[in-house]
Chains A and B, each alone.
Chain A
Amino acid sequence: MLKYIVKRLLVMLLVLWAVSTMTYFMVHVTPGDAATAIVFNLTGGTNMDEELIERINKRFDLDKPVYVQYFNWLLGVFRMDFGISYRYNMPVMDMIKARLPNTARLGLTAVFLSALIGIPLGVLSALRQNRLLDHTSRVATLFIGSVPGFLSGLVLIIIFSLKLKWFPTSGMKTAGSIVLPAVTLALGMVATTTRMMRTGMLDVLRQDFMVVAKAKGIRRSSMLVSHAFRNALPSIVTVIGLQIGHILGGSVLVETIFAWPGLGSLLNDAVSNRDTPMLEGCVILITFGYTAINLLVDVVYAWLDPRVKYTEG
């Protein structure tokens, strides 16, 4: 087990290095003079002052050769320092640190909501396989899963904030602000959660030990609690892990719609502002988080289900 984890961590380090490098060269290396482009983007091309361009070159080390810039930047990444934002002239990491708790709060609320609906629904679906409840839940979740997040977000805004005035349309000023974005994010995950939980539970119910338990005459309720639930735990872990992964990508859209001050909207702003250091910082941190969660899920899964072999990876 330990060997497996160490091996996975080493592979992860390699992947993260490659991800950082790829992101760097994808985003950083733009044709033409970088400093001129920054000044152009920030001032809208109205003030192309030579001296300003020179100062920006100095401040962001843009006059050095690319490989020097790259190594300096990579050293910074190891210290969790992603440089200074072009747009805000502040350390990228400080801004990310300020935004990260908001995304975490939104994301965890959404995971909780979607697990609250999806896990029981998936279990019930499995217990009533091919019955009315099962079909209804499958069609309903498939339908909900096909609605893009921005549409459900807009519909929720129209109904609950414009018509009923229950929750604010955007921002994070009041306690109720989190409700609409969290529900929107959760709606996008419910389908996957329910489906995976149903499949996981069906697999457990098909096992021989369930037949034996039934033959022994154990009551159905205690059979489900003591046998089925324990064996469905790995599925639950996978479901939750996948959801957290989904949040990191899905938050870009939802945070943009609701102007939620999190990592996703920061990333989207960085794209529209061409704020390269900020963009790199966000992409790399999101990717790190995503990879770390995937690894964690695999490890917990292997720990919960001793039949999983550690050879792959």
Chain B
Amino acid sequence: MKKRSALFHINRKNVLLILGLTLSALILLITIFSPLLETHNPTKMNLPNKLKAPSSENYFGTDALGRDVYSRILEGSRVSLGTAFVVVIFSAILGTAIGLFSGFIGGRTDMVCMRIVDIFLAFPTIVFVLAMTTFLPTNQLSLILAICCINWVRYARIARGEAVIIRNVEYIEAATAIGNSKTGILFRYFLPNTVSKILIMMSMDIGSIILYCASLSFLGLGTQPPSPAWGTMINEGRDYIRNAPWISIAPGIAVAVTALSFNMIGDGLRDALDPRMRESIQTE
């Protein structure tokens, strides 16, 4: 019989993980092929056709400018998911680099780095991003930059914690004794030992970053109209929730389903891989 890895062996425990992976893969596919699936031009206005209820012509209805909500959600998926991935990848790289370095060097450098981390941890994420974007131009790049600027600290803490543990392991002493260079040790031993925890953290992070991005674009940051981001669409529809709730609700459901799919991966991984991680990593 072919041996499968425990992680992908379907049992009651990781059904959540499998479901999350399937849904997320589906959402990614939809995002990649969104131009083929769009039924209308997502930015084309059609005023006579405004505020139409969902129908076979406009699956999720039309908005106040007569644009097709379904096509706009598909178009917006590229912005929303793309942003979330970029933020998670960049903050993971930055945080891991600083954390590993800090834990590897130790001493005063480590102390200074950790105090800097403390400073960033003092801010609630949304509050920090709101403050930071005031001096940046209002666009998606500013939003990405601002979230990365605060999100890296979570990775730095994990990477640093791992580095401190690894530093005291005997094989590092052995590696130094046989004449490995410091950079060599950092890349050959420290990095690979941290990667798995960082990957788990990334998978748990992506759901919450999707939610943060949507919340912040709901508050008017990031991509500006007419380009559709999910949060912006929900905000635009707020004035019409009495008569045309689909304008807000449909992109809202898109955010929720996407976040749920990625959160299921994170939650499933947390259970399947490392029960001890449950306590150490908590999102706000």
Contact = CB atoms under 8 A, between A and B. Distances in A.
* A interacts with B: yes
Interface of A: 11, 14-16, 18-19, 22-23, 26-27, 29-30, 130, 138-139, 142-143, 145-151, 154-155, 157-158, 162, 192, 195-196, 199, 242, 245-246, 248-250, 252-253, 256-257, 267-268, 271-272, 274, 276, 279, 282-283, 286-287, 290-291
A283 B284 CA distance: 17
Nearest to B279: A199
Contacts of A256: 219
Interface stretch (B1-9, B28-36, B192-200, B251-259): B251-259
B122 interface: yes
A248 B130 contact: no
Nearest to B122: A291
Nearest to B126: A249
B210 to A, nearest CB: 9
B12 interface: yes
Interface of B: 12-13, 16, 115, 118-119, 122-128, 130-135, 207, 211, 214-215, 218-220, 231, 234-235, 238, 241-242, 245, 248-249, 252-253, 255-257, 259-260, 263-264, 267, 278-279, 282-284
B263 A145 contact: yes
Given A150-B214, A199-B279, 19 more contacts: A15-B115, A15-B122, A19-B122, A26-B134, A146-B256, A147-B259, A148-B255, A150-B218, A151-B234, A192-B282, A195-B278, A246-B284, A248-B124, A250-B126, A271-B130, A271-B131, A271-B134, A271-B219, A274-B134
A149 B241 CA distance: 16
Best-surrounded residue of B16, B122, B245 (most CB of chain A within 10 A): B122
A139 B16 contact: yes
A154 B122 contact: no
Nearest to B234: A150
B12 A158 contact: no
B151 to A, nearest CB: 13
Contact of B241 (A26, A157, A195, A199): A157
A148 B215 contact: yes
Nearest to B214: A148
| Closest 9 A/B residue pairs (Cβ) | A249-B124, A151-B252, A146-B260, A146-B259, A18-B119, A147-B256, A249-B126, A291-B122, A199-B278
B135 A30 contact: yes
Contact of A11 (B12, B118, B264): B118
Interface of chain A, main secondary structure:
helix
Nearest to A147: B256
A276 B252 CA distance: 32
Contacts of A23: 131
B257 to A, nearest CB: 8
Contact of A162 (B16, B241, B284): B241
A26 B132 contact: yes
B252 A154 contact: yes
A150 B215 contact: yes
Contacts of B253: 151
A151 B219 contact: no
Contact of A19 (B123, B130, B215, B242): B123
A290 B207 contact: no
